[in-house]
Structure 1
Amino acid sequence: MSTRITDLTQAEAFVAGAGLSVEALAVIVAEALGEDLGGRGVLPPGTGRGVDVTSVATIPADATATAELVARRPGVVAGLPVAAYVLAVVLEGAEQQPAGGWSVEVLATDGDRVETGDVLVRVHGGTRALLTAERVALNLLTLTSGVATATRAWVDALAGTGTRVRDTRKTTPGLRMLEKYAVRVAGGVNHRMSLADAALVKDNHVIAAGGVVPAYERVRAMFGDLWIQVEVTTAEQAHAVVDAGCTDVLLDNMSLAAMSEIIASLKGRAEFEASGGLTLASAVSVAQTGVDFIAVGAITHSAPILDIAMDLV
């Protein structure tokens, strides 16, 4: 089923319907377009700041075109509402509007597997505006689709085990909302969005607090309504924090045998997440320890983009 957008309000509704903040996305896109058009001091005055100088010089102001966003490689697509929003912002903001207006038709759905040559979006409008919007729309779409593709590989590897892949805060600065969205649509699970919405007691907190249990208890005393996870590196720490009331334990860089023993002895009292040096090749073996989640920073910080291009047709 396709989605047709003919004004910015519809694009905003499409974004909101995907569970993304329109306000936050507007900031991301404004920054990205400003960067691409010489804003925020990235170019000196007098160098065409604010316009796509190549398109303005080579394309008549009243020229129109139809373009398609096309997958160049197979993968999992994510970020179509984001790309549609970028296109809508630039098309609606163009100085000269085409007769009959502009349109963005989204032909795929986030989370879909796509093949080489699949047309994901078809857009019609002023040619200058299309080419001005192209790079920002593609930068965000290829990034989030790359995260979704990497995440789906883990989801597929863990299929049938009962263990789920979970992301981390190892995200591109300023783009966490989009990267974590891509994880969700690909079947992964989000960890905390920020330092403020959940607590994760890590090794440095333990050292500063004088022990894993004191660290946990201090967080619970001050922020007891929030989700609290505690990172442990030994069986002794795991038992101690669960006995203290912790119900979410991160097993950091432990052997398969150690994780299996801890989970078997504490079964039903807490959820467990494995972290540290995990690979797709080891995913099933780690899942067989009984962990509920596998934390993988690589699905955001190291995911290659999914190659998607814009072609005038």
Structure 2
Amino acid sequence: MSGAADALPFAPPHAAVEADVARALAEDLGSGDVTAMLLPDVADDAYLLCKEDAVICGRPWFDACHRALDPQVRIDWHVREGERAARGTVLATLRGRARALVGAERASLNFLQTLSGTATVTAAYVEAVRGTGAKILDTRKTLPGLRLAQKYAVRVGGGVNHRIGLFDAVMLKENHVRAAGSLRTAIRAARAMHPALPLIVEVETLAQLEEALDEGCERVLIDDFDAATRREAVRVAHAPPYSGRIPLEVSGGVDLAGVRAIAEDGVDCISIGGLTKHVRAIDLSLKLGPPPGDAPR
């Protein structure tokens, strides 16, 4: 089983992967891997071991790290991108120059363990709301320089991307409303200046919710509403004259234990900064030599 991001309807931008990898290798190798120079520059085998249950994500970055140092390296994957792997699984076997294998080890694992961590936690949230109709969204709370990679990992885990940055959607929050003087004024200014961009409006009260629904937008974000107010917001948004035409998004204070109850209130989207902000990397290891004979693949 080989290839990049197979069985997925999307792939990460090639240029972004190459740029991420070039930056990571430059940071790690500097003027050269002085320890790897001690090794004979001969062909060797290696295997990639998963040391805990995880949704695997980041194969394009892993592959690019190794191919940057050894274009002839052979990488045979035993799991698909986005597939769940059990602890003890040999994820891939490699055949290449020994110095290059160890030189690319840390950078390749850093990408794979970080992105697998995001995909794994996203998959847990997606599973928690299964059957409710609610979508799990990410935010812009990403590691600097790795936004496209982490947002890709969210998609691999079954989540949906929020706006990528400050350029691809207008999102009015309390500071924008305060500066504009009112929510209605801010919405009208946004529509006038950026008519082709999606408009997302954050509201803090039920009165603001009705104002946003009256003015119109692509989505309303109800931030930090308590459960009773959230359910009333859903009722208002689905009653005439609005009739559910504008989706409601919940954000703030969402955790895995409570996400199902939020989804069952009838909201359309739940955005969770912790998918990319609270990163807990998956435990992986790359070892020289053939894999142990009894390791699952």
> TM-score, normalized by length of structure 2?
0.92
Q: What is the SS of the residue equivalent to 1:187?
A: coil
Give the AA of the match of 2:62.
Answer: A
Instruction: Summarize deviations over 1:204-226 as a string: whole Å, max 9, x none.
Output: 00111111111111111111111
Distance change in 2, residues 1:157/1:17 (3 Å): closer
Contact 1:201/1:230, CA 8 A, preserved across alignment? yes
Alignment match of 1:23 (pick from 15, 26, 38): 15
Structure 2 residue ranges without an equivalent (≥5): 239-243, 290-297
Alignment match of 1:59 (pick from 25, 39, 52): 39
Following superposition, the deviation at residue 84 of structure 1 comes to 1.0
Residue in 1 that maps onto 2:283: 307
Residue in 2 that maps onto 1:89: 68
Residue in 2 that maps onto 1:119: 90
Give the AA of the match of 2:36.
Answer: S
- The yes-or-no answer on 1:136 pairing with 2:107 is yes
What is the CA–CA distance in structure 2 between the aligned matches of 1:104 and 1:64, rounded to whole Å? 13
Residue in 2 that maps onto 1:97: none
Following superposition, the deviation at residue 17 of structure 1 comes to 8.2
Give the AA of the match of 1:263.
Answer: V
Following superposition, the deviation at residue 104 of structure 1 comes to 1.3
Following superposition, the deviation at residue 18 of structure 1 comes to 4.7
Contact 2:66/2:73, CA 8 A, preserved across alignment? no
Structure 1 residue ranges without an equivalent (≥5): 5-10, 39-48, 93-100
- The yes-or-no answer on 1:103 pairing with 2:83 is no
Q: What is the SS of the residue equivalent to 1:85?
A: helix
- The yes-or-no answer on 1:69 pairing with 2:40 is no
Runs of 4+ residues deviating >2 angstroms: none
Which range moves more in the overlay, 20-29 or 135-144? 20-29
Contact 1:157/1:280, CA 8 A, preserved across alignment? yes
Alignment RMSD (CA, Å): 1.6
Residue in 2 that maps onto 1:174: 145
Which range moves more in the overlay, 278-287 or 169-178? 278-287
Give the AA of the match of 1:3.
Answer: S
Give the AA of the match of 1:89.
Answer: A
Give the AA of the match of 1:81.
Answer: P
What is the CA–CA distance in structure 2 between the aligned matches of 1:79 and 1:234, rounded to whole Å? 40
Instruction: Summarize deviations over 1:169-202 as a string: whole Å, max 9, x none.
Output: 0000100111000100110010001110111111
- The yes-or-no answer on 1:253 pairing with 2:224 is yes
Q: What is the SS of the residue equivalent to 1:266?
A: helix
Instruction: Summarize deviations over 1:227-272 as a string: whole Å, max 9, x none.
Output: 1100001000010011011231000000111111111122113100
Alignment match of 2:24 (pick from 32, 35, 47): 32
Give the AA of the match of 1:264.
Answer: R
Tell me the number of residue pairs that the alignment of Structure 1 and Structure 2 aligns: 283
> TM-score, normalized by length of structure 1?
0.87
Following superposition, the deviation at residue 114 of structure 1 comes to 0.6
Which range moves more in the overlay, 246-255 or 139-148? 246-255
Contact 1:150/1:303, CA 8 A, preserved across alignment? no
Following superposition, the deviation at residue 279 of structure 1 comes to 1.1
Identity value in percent:
40
Give the AA of the match of 1:258.
Answer: T
What is the CA–CA distance in structure 2 between the aligned matches of 1:311 and 1:212, rounded to whole Å? 57
Alignment of 1:186-205 (within 5 A): 186-205=157-176
Which range moves more in the overlay, 74-83 or 135-144? 74-83
